[in-house]
Amino acid sequence: METKSTLRYMGGIVCESSAIDSITQNFSAFKIIDQITMEVRSTDSTKTAKSLEKIVVPINFQVISLWKRNNQSDFGKQMDQKVMMEILDPNQKVLAKNFFQVILPLDKIRSRAILNVQGMPVSDTGEYCIQMKEITNTEEEILLAKLCFDIIVNKS
């Protein structure tokens, strides 16, 4: 049996911060992330930074997504969708998971969701992806998109 989503994922970005104009509701994203370069040094004398498997870098960022009603006939109904955001390392290993609810008010066709993330788990140099998955009523996970960027780790 095929499940039909009430909301449709339209796209997204990863950035450092954003702002919404209070009068026009126009949205601005600042410092869109496409690459991060970092220097990692071990503070534990029994380990070298090269032996570290995973660290959490103290960087805050936002995952911003745009959602739309799947059916115009649903206009006038409040819609909501459970979504899971996963951070994948270059080996496709899940380093972190967050769940959030996308809510579309009854008088809107589109809605933005802004997820604030504190700390970036990092395991090695390579392409990291923010993976968005819809969680259906039957708890099925449906992949919606991957938002990818590069992280260059210089370990010493």
Give the residue numbers spanning the domain of 93.
7-38+52-155
| Mean pLDDT value across residues 105-113 | 83
**Residue 47 resides in a domain:** no
Q: How many domains does the chain have?
A: 1
pLDDT band at residue 91, thresholds of 50, 70 and 90? very high
Q: What is the pLDDT of residues 18-38, one digit of tens each?
A: 999 989 988 899 999 999 888
**Residue 21 resides in a domain:** yes
**Residue 45 resides in a domain:** no
Q: What percent of the chain has pLDDT over 70?
A: 84
CATH code: domain of residue 33: 2.60.40.2550
**Residue 90 resides in a domain:** yes
- Taking CB atoms within 8 Å and a gap of at least 24, the contacts of 31-36 are 33/61, 33/149, 34/149, 34/150, 35/149, 35/150, 35/151, 35/152, 36/120, 36/149, 36/150, 36/151, 36/152
- Please state the pTM of the whole predicted model: 0.79
In the predicted model, what is the mean pLDDT of the chain? 83
How many Å apart are CA 101 and CA 113, to the nearest integer? 8
pLDDT at site 73: 62
